[in-house]
Each structure stands twice: as C-alpha cells, then as structure tokens.
Amino acid sequence: MSELFGTLSDGTPVHRWTLERGGVRVRVLSYGGIVQSAEVPDRDGRPADVVLGFPDLDGYVGNPGPYLGALVGRYANRIAGARFTLDGRTHALEPNDGPNSLHGGERGFDKRVWEVEPVEHGVRLSRVSPHGEGGFPGRLEVSATYSLDADGALRIGYEAVTDAPTVVNLTNHAYWNLGGSGSAGGHELRIAASRFTPVDAGLIPTGVLDDVDGTRFDFRESRTVGSGYDHNFVLDKGVTGTPEEVAELYDPASGRFLTVATTEPGLQLYTADHLGVPFTAGEGIALETQHFPDSPNRPEFPSTQLRPGEVYRSQSVYGFGVRG
C-alpha cells in the first residue's frame, strides 16, 4: 500500500509504502529510502514500533543529522579529508563532518527522493546519481529493494552499476529500540567479530585491526551494550556471496530480539549518544552493515571500488523474534 506522506518545499511529493507479512509491519518512505517504522510483537503478542522515526516529513527534513532509518550513500560512514585517489586521480568530496565526508556529503542519498515500484512482498527504490554528485566520479545507477520474508524478516538488497571507476558503500541507518521506548542501553548484543578498527579523534580508522579480546569491544558473547560506541567491527566471516548472521540484539524486558545477517565485511555499532531533540541519548542502537570507513584511502581494507562492467551487490537481512 502507498499513500502521500508529505510534500517538499519545491513541490515534490513524498510517498509512504507499507509492507506487512509474518506479523511484521514496515513503513518505507520514498524520501531518503527511510525505514520510518517497524512494528513487531513482544513475547505477549503486543506490537510496538522498534525503529526510531518521525511522524511527519518535516521531522526528517528539519533534523537530517541522525540519518534516522535512511539509505545512506554513495559512501556510508567517513572518508578522511573528504578526498580519495583512484587510478592516480584525486577526487575532492563534500566535507560535512569537520574536514571529512560522512554518508555521501551534504546531500547524500538520504536526502533524495527515490523512484519506487512495487515488487513481490516489497518495493524497489531506484535513482541515478549523476557524475560529480557529492564529488564522487561516475554516473551511478543504484537500486535498493526492501522486502519481507514469510517470517517477517526485513531484507534489503542493493545493486549499482557505474560508467566510470568510483567507490560505493551503501547501508541502512535504522536505530533499533526493541522495547519500543525508553533507553536501549540495557539491550544485550552479540557480534561475531574478533577484531575492530580503532579510530582517531575524528573517528577515522588508524588502519590497524585490533583484537577485541580483553576490551570493551568484545561482543563475541552476548552482553549489555551500554554507551560510547561509534566503531566498525571486522566481521569474522568477511565478504560473502549470501547473507550470514553476524549479530543479535536482545531486549530482556519485552523479549524481542533482532538478528542481523549480511554479505558485508563490517558492522558499525553506534549507541546514539548524540541524537538530539526530540530523542534522548542512547534511545536507539544503530547496526550498520558496511565496508570499512575510509576504505578508499586504505588499500589494506576490503575494496569498495566499482568499475564499468561490474555490478555492486550487497544484501542484509533483519530478522525478528521473541524469547519467553
């Protein structure tokens, strides 16, 4: 089902699509590819929205900083100095996080209106990112398909092709609160990662892959999340052709749990310590499936390069369940 959600200042309409299957209801916006809500039952069968979002379009337009539920790109996460060199040519990007480029620049994919068409059990969003958008080279044809599996799992599949060498790293920036309200800091988290990428003061990876053993980054066994995280975890499985489960988030109070499966080699854990009004610090937890931050400047990291004739593919699955 689709409905008019609002109109941008230039008159462009924004629609909302509702997907429902397996006891789960998800709403997706054509603006920013935003997952506005995800209604999931608790252990007693009572539904609640487990994704942070705004009730109207003005909320998203007026508060873009948290990237609530958005499809981010062309490059999710940070690129140091808002520049990278590819095939001997340096490309200057839009700095929007101090000197760095974050989530595609000032007007990344999260602030664009996408074309939407229905597909089986979901919707397909698509757009063309012109050469030079945000400073990125190449004309990029990109799509993201949101669908619900029979058990209600939310599946997001990304594809892109380019007419010139470029870099691509796409993800969804949903903030999860499995209790439906209050703090998410008491959630329990497991991540199948033996290493992480430590960062400098600007949250740029140093290039080292540190072991999590004996540190606060060790989530190999489920434990309370807490606060103070905005870090990329190096998933043990690496890049895979099909999604493999890499994380589980659990709320003991409601009994809800979320599993994350992905083809990506990294997972960014952000505990939302700086969300801002109307939200409170720690009200949601972002689990962003991705390639590593600043990979275009780190040849030792898994490559994010995309060349003509190649197809970028990435897929992540968010499954829901309950425990007694």
Residue pLDDT, tens place only, 31-79: 999 999 999 999 999 999 999 999 999 999 999 999 999 999 999 999 9
Q: Tell me the CATH number for domain 2-322.
A: 2.70.98.10
pLDDT at 9: 97
pLDDT digits (tens, 9 = 90+) for 260-298: 999 999 999 999 998 888 999 999 999 999 999 999 999
Quick check: 302 and 291 in contact, CB under 8 A?
A: yes
Half-sphere exposure of 82 (CA within 13 A, CB side): 17
Quick check: 268 and 156 in contact, CB under 8 A?
A: no
Q: Is 49 annotated as a binding residue?
A: no
pLDDT at 255: 98
Identify the residue whose tokens are 């898994």.
302
From residue 259, alpha-carbon distances to 89, 103, 169, 246, 248 in Å are 40, 24, 21, 8, 4
Q: Is 274 annotated as a binding residue?
A: no
Start-end of H helices in 63-143: none
**167 backbone dihedrals φ, ψ, rounded to 5°:** -125, 145
Q: Is 177 annotated as a binding residue?
A: no
Assign 217 a pLDDT band (cuts: 50, 70, 90).
Answer: very high
Active-site residue set: 173, 288
Q: Is 78 annotated as a binding residue?
A: yes
* Residue type at 61 in one-letter notation: V
**82 backbone dihedrals φ, ψ, rounded to 5°:** 50, 45
- What secondary structure does DSSP assign to 198-221, as a single string? -B-TTS-B-S--EE-TTSTT--SS
Q: How far apart are CA 225 and CA 236, in angstroms?
A: 20
Q: How far apart are CA 292 and CA 36, in angstroms?
A: 26
Q: Is 92 annotated as a binding residue?
A: no
- Reading the block at residue 235, the tokens are 């998933």
Assign 193 a pLDDT band (cuts: 50, 70, 90).
Answer: very high
* Residue type at 87 in one-letter notation: D
Assign 219 a pLDDT band (cuts: 50, 70, 90).
Answer: very high
DSSP 62: H
Half-sphere exposure of 141 (CA within 13 A, CB side): 7
pLDDT digits (tens, 9 = 90+) for 140-190: 999 999 999 999 999 999 999 999 999 999 999 999 999 999 999 999 999
pLDDT at 277: 83
pLDDT at 110: 98
Mean pLDDT across 110-133:
98
Give the mean pLDDT of the chain. 97
pLDDT at 248: 98
Q: Is 175 annotated as a binding residue?
A: yes
